[in-house]
Amino acid sequence: MSQKLFCFRFSLLSYLKDSHPNLAADAAFIAARGDAAAEVYSSVVKNGQTHDQVGESANEALYAGLLFSPYRIVVPKPLERV
């Protein structure tokens, strides 16, 4: 497995553990997204895009549809009266 592919998968797994724990054990999902991000990365590099554009495009493929997380909502705790 290439270094970049490993990085994409690890990055996604880390994000899923924090924001979408129900998907963190889905190895097929992580592999598919990592592979897709690596393909996009390779394609954008070959097209001569900037480093920022390459990273942005790969991240769009990696995190597509995962922006909202019910696990990351901050709910204010009522103040306790002393």
Position 30 scores a pLDDT of: 96
Q: How far is CA 5 from CA 40, 44, 53, 59, 80, in A?
A: 11, 15, 18, 12, 48
3-state secondary structure of 30: helix
Please write the tens of the pLDDT for every residue from 2-14: 677 789 999 999 9
Could you say which architecture CATH assigns to the domain 3-63?
Answer: Orthogonal Bundle (1.10)
The reported pTM is 0.76
Q: What is the predicted pLDDT for the residue at 51? A: 85
Q: Tens digit of pLDDT for each residue in 43-80?
A: 999 999 998 999 999 999 999 998 776 666 666 667 67
* The predicted structure's pLDDT at residue 73: 66
Q: Where are the domains of the chain?
A: 3-63
Residue type, 77: K
Which run of H or of E encompasses 42?
helix 27-46
